[in-house]
A and B are shown apart, each in its own frame.
Chain A
């Protein structure tokens, strides 16, 4: 026996004796027991999966020893734990290839956040007061089970509603299975900056109801309609990796890139050509380009197949979209339309991207279908430098759950029905979603939730939605539990990002999938979910997948944090059944806006914040203090206004203004930006939380509070870019717009 083992042994035996005599000060011995074998000062690297957005990037987590205040088996003490220290992108991951965005870097602060909910809580005050008492897991689970049993006793299982976020994963599949077996409707997912319009368009155009993957690395020309694909949209790290290769990864070849948008995004800043068009007319430009491509004879109209047949007038070569027509509708000079068409035609392969604001208008589906048709015309689907659809693992088929898929209900219709006196849920489970913050106020989500008799939240933090909960069952962080995602896009091959826990839980939390499985077993009529724990489900799901090492796909994933490869027949999600062309081909309809143009002279554009996305990351201090790429603002909210407009309104940089729509008013500070159209004002989402930890509460303003409940006519999706506002100066700068670049000498270096 060497010295080290001897010390360990005495520590363990000594503490064992101490623990046996509970309540004794000798229990302080607990500090000598390491949680696991870890050599002080020596780092080990473990795989992980970033869970802050649905992209599913792989992580490599640096783990070292650290002293943590923990509670173990009811006892508080300092324990030497193996603690995550730094998150890096996993070098060989097929989505992020070693890269990691700012948000992913900050993901570690979720685990170590000082305002995390550390144990189950039961509400004691009024809803929204934030007064809770600690309860044991046994009591909490008994309470939730009795509520669900009561629903079953009344034959009212359908009145359980599960609010969650968009994202494909085994966890989502488990939730769905739980609900189906219980007899409840499928989960209700809501994203303010969601992509339902594009998914729907892709189902119609290409038979795949999912977000596309772009082979930018091999593209010669990229034409993006409003998609912030290098910042916040779709799979940003995968797209950054590919973008770098497109620009400088091929010897002597540099792909070109044009961005169509009327407020310069972080992505638009990298474009060779920046093309502002009137809001809601992006699809017209796409068809104008298609018209020119077809009129040269280089691209026959039938090359676009089904995607083209969805557009009215396509077979005739889109006669209504001559450059002059496009100029009249979009405000873009005919000569520039011709120039874009020439580049799109000459630089092969070319690919078009659409996402974000162009699809958030009343004619969003038309715009998406128009860009899809343009891509189909040049043969982009499935070719190098074009667009792909990442094959998707069909979890239901893989685990043979046999639960039939049911169409999901939209949050808006559920809320509207409930508030109109129709069916309203008896029990609501909230899992990661914060619709009170992210849904337009006109939907009255908070009012709807307040009339729900019983709300359970699985969240890590008190936010505007979970503060209404009667019971909080905090989840582990993604570093403390099995982390996984089934990326919808970002790779050409199928990907399952799966990694075991990186570290032991810091607090008295439990993994939500395991909680659901346990609740399923405890119910009066057990749900007979065939897995004891979540990792059994993962094992069952991956059992049918080929393994590179031969030791099984789950074992591979444990090692590498990812499985990627060819999906066996029967385990891939089939092409969308919705393959029939729309009965009536779609045509451009002028976008509709909420608010009279005289009273509300500006279009209003809320946008996904580079730091906080829709606001779900505003609680992380690193992201609060990260200067915004376009403005250098930190810890702040602002509204961007064109310099000419600002001068006309007598507004200077930093002034306090009121931005008012027909639905609300926010008071914020002005950034005068040359990168925005004179008839448009824009605000980043993310700030303006009333309740969301010490770092985000009461900070800045939420642009969603101004939004009208406008929808895309064809899909019913929220048209979040279709509100009009007016801007009124209230006063001089009040010091609440904080800029990092305020005192830096950044001028004078402008012509590099």
Chain B
């Protein structure tokens, strides 16, 4: 390693008079500490900056027979008084005026590092740029030309890899030459936009002669223009009141200058990067760009999204449905038979029926679609992990704009595909009350995983091989109804003001199977928990209501309620059983399966086969349409009440969804009957 010769003493106060003072500046995690340790070795002193809890490190080394005192400034991104670290760093440079400032820069994130350099160049100490992490930049496919950067910055630039000790000698040599005044030093500073320059000049006139030493007047004027709180306080105290009033009035009249000063720095960084960096055109970024040309295209992107959704359902049905059949026949059926065989001789008849029909028939039916859910969760987790979900969100957002929906609404709505409850809670990110309200009202129309699971279970039961097309159609229907409802409510509720939305799409990457596995595990566990609590309770209640008073389903209390509601359901082809199943989904969407399981006494005989033999495809389709667009579960309604803080809007939403779902169901049923 090219470590320089070290001075023997570690007692810092005994620094020789001719010692060269060097400050080490840089943002956090650019290798500043590595460089500091490399240069000073064990000759370090660690303490605190006076009056602060920020750590102060300094050390000694000799190079070329000259003694150097190296002070490690706190890691900062800029030198505006936003944090104690930033104030410490700039005050040290201003007060102590080091012979050289080494600005450690991360070559792989040059833009971020250069902001600090832009600020350092304005201070009265010569800067040497240590262009560290050249290896990382190279690995990421970036080619940086240090000599071009040096010419653009007007200050010495030394490429290096501190972790390997590469470039240390060159850095020390450059620092030594700068300290001796042998290197021409003419930094190219960021410029304030032309229309603000007269303001800066006028400001300088007002503060001229009153700026405390050792602060440079032009720097103070610039910081004042930028709205730096510390400098503003210092100048207010230093200026006579009438001068301060004039300067302050000038600043107030040009408060847009704050943005202009920062803007000048970004412009400057942009120029430096354009000059010295060649970006990768191949590899990961290139692949992401190439894929995104299709995935985020306004038309192809939507087609790809539709295709991917279709593929997810295809996979779910092709692999999941046979597994579900097996579970239904061998696990649920065997369990119900086993309970009957074991308990009939020793337990009362009602208890056997409760366990075999109520618990196994209800909860068992729901648990059989665990394979379908696991596959579905895995597919979504995979899409999320490889980075596709962000593209799906982006593509859908454009559609929402076309439909007159608010741009901010897409995120919460998108969350709705997971669960409507977080979707409604997520609307808190929307500031506009009316836009938020509209999003809350629309969120229940996004098919959540529970609804998708019900579709995934019932569609194959009613439609066999056509289940994929039907499921795909139901999701499309939900989105179309959402868009149409949104467009209508948007026109009625607010005038569709456009708002800007900025997304950073992550790079595509290979899936992390552990993350996907963990996500699937958590979601499946949560589903099983729900089956063991809410769905179990509802199954037992439904069983009791469908058994009492006489033990026959047809004469039960539930049948009486169902028949009372049947006329409404009949319009959509639904008998009282389907109507009751729909109502029970208000507690939790999966309950509709559990209820049908109990009502059809599914246990030994699979529910899917029973449903297929009882209901026509027209009835099945109408039921699925109503179920997909129906009032959300009670948890969602509760959150709607909580977030709108209004029973009126909650009831309006419930009523709206009741009307929309039944109208759609009736329409579909009547159309299907006409077609035959």
**Chains A and B form a bound pair:** no
- Residues of A participating in the B interface, judged by any CB pair closer than 8 Å: none
